Amino acid sequence: MENETLLVLPRDIKFKISKNYPKYWFNGSAIKTIHANTLTSSIPFGERFFVSCVLPHIKKLKNRTQKRNALNFAKQEINHSKEHYRFYLKLVKPHYPKLKVKNYLYQKIFAVIAVLVGSKIRLAMVAAMEHFTAVSGDLYLRHPELLEGLDDNIKMLWQWHFIEEIEHKAVAFDIFHDSGGNYIQRVIGFFLSAFFLSMGFASYYFHMVCYDKLYKSKQFYIDTYQFFWGKHGLIKRLVIPYLRYLLPRFHPNQYSHFEQLTQLSNELMEIDRQLKEKYKAVEIS
Ligand SMILES: [Fe+2]
Ligand SMILES: [Fe+2]
């Protein structure tokens, strides 16, 4: 483990997400909303898979900090899963009644493959998926304009999740290496994860695009290209950080900025405290 001082801290925050947001709650943008809806709908299944892969290894850990971080990683992921499921029920499901969070074909294939490949590759897949989420979270935290215009509660939920993803990004990676995982297994885990994440993403994304008949509009294709591959496109900005994972000497903590993370975390807790006071005052009056 390269960084023994990093602490993983679960923050069980309940975000006040109501049903009163417009369908395209992300600044009125269909692409941004469907992209975020896709993430939020796939998170409950994904996070539970991460926890189920890491939990069996926790009791074998000898280092106390690593053990505590691994347990807190599991708590963080369970909290994320719960909050995103609530978000899905309030902001996604009412507009896309046939959209599910589980029982997709890709999830069934994924479950079979995950069993067949064995626990080492499963861990490698989790480590790679944690890399994808941490790198994406890092981009959003470094570029607050990406969440500009969002309602405070929604923005806080995403920031909270991004912060905790960055905080625990090395947990599965370290467990994988400490349990004897090698570079070849890490690379296999990376490509399997990338494949299944893409399948999952496509399942949700195109479900919503088809439901809204967006594919009929030429503007949809232009906006999609701009959002993902344009000058400041999401994938364009993420592809190099994603691929760094394949460097033989890569470790997630090589690309950390813990001071910024601590500051953001403190700000988040302060906003949460203020919100709780605000809601308490409303309930009393
Ligand atoms: Fe998470
Ligand atoms: Fe995570």
Q: Is the pTM of this model over 0.85?
A: yes
In the reported structure, the alpha carbon of residue 135 is separated from the centroid of ligand 2 by a whole-number distance in angstroms of 11
**How far is ligand 1, taken at its centre, from the CA of residue 130, in Å?**
8
Rounded Cα–Cα distance for residues 276 and 284 (Å): 12
- At residue 13, the pLDDT reads 83
Give 161 Cα–ligand 1 centroid separation in angstroms.
Answer: 6
CA of 213 to the centre of ligand 2 (A): 33
Contacts of residue 205, defined as CB under 8 A and 6 or more positions apart, other chains included, come to: 34, 35, 38
- Per-residue pLDDT at 240: 94
In angstroms, the CA 263 to CA 278 distance is 23
Ligand 2 centroid to 98 CA: how many Å?
27
Give me ligand 1 centre to Cα 52, in Å.
13
Side chain identity at residue 2, one-letter code: E
Q: Can you tell me whether residue 67 is helix, strand or coil? A: helix
Cα of 10 vs centre of ligand 2, distance in Å, is 12
Q: Please check whether residue 173 is in contact with residue 127, taking contact to mean a CB–CB distance below 8 angstroms.
A: yes
- Residue 68: predicted pLDDT: 93
Which residues are in the CB-under-5-Å shell of ion ligand 2?
Answer: 130, 165
Residue 49 Cα to ligand 1 middle (Å): 11
Q: How far is the CA of 220 from the centre of ligand 1 (A)?
A: 29
Nearest ligand (C-alpha, residue 79): 1
| Model pLDDT, residue 211 | 96
**Distance from Cα 56 to the centre of ligand 1, integer Å:** 18
Residue-level pLDDT at 11: 84
Dist. CA 174 → ligand 2 center (Å): 14
Nearest to 177 by CA among 64, 61, 45: 61
What is the Å distance from ligand 1's center to 86 Cα?
A: 14
Per-residue pLDDT of the chain (285 residues; tens, 9 = 90+): 444 456 788 888 888 888 889 999 999 999 999 999 999 999 988 898 889 889 989 888 888 889 999 999 999 999 999 999 999 999 999 999 999 888 778 888 888 888 898 889 999 999 999 999 999 998 998 898 999 999 888 998 999 999 899 889 999 999 999 999 999 999 999 999 999 999 999 999 999 999 999 999 999 999 999 999 998 899 999 999 999 999 999 999 887 666 666 776 777 677 667 666 656 655 554
* Ligand minimally distant from the alpha carbon of residue 84: 1
* CA 130 to ligand 2 center in whole angstroms: 5
Instruction: Answer yes or no: are the C-beta atoms of 271 and 264 closer than 8 Å.
Output: no
Distance 22 CA to ligand 1 centre (A): 25
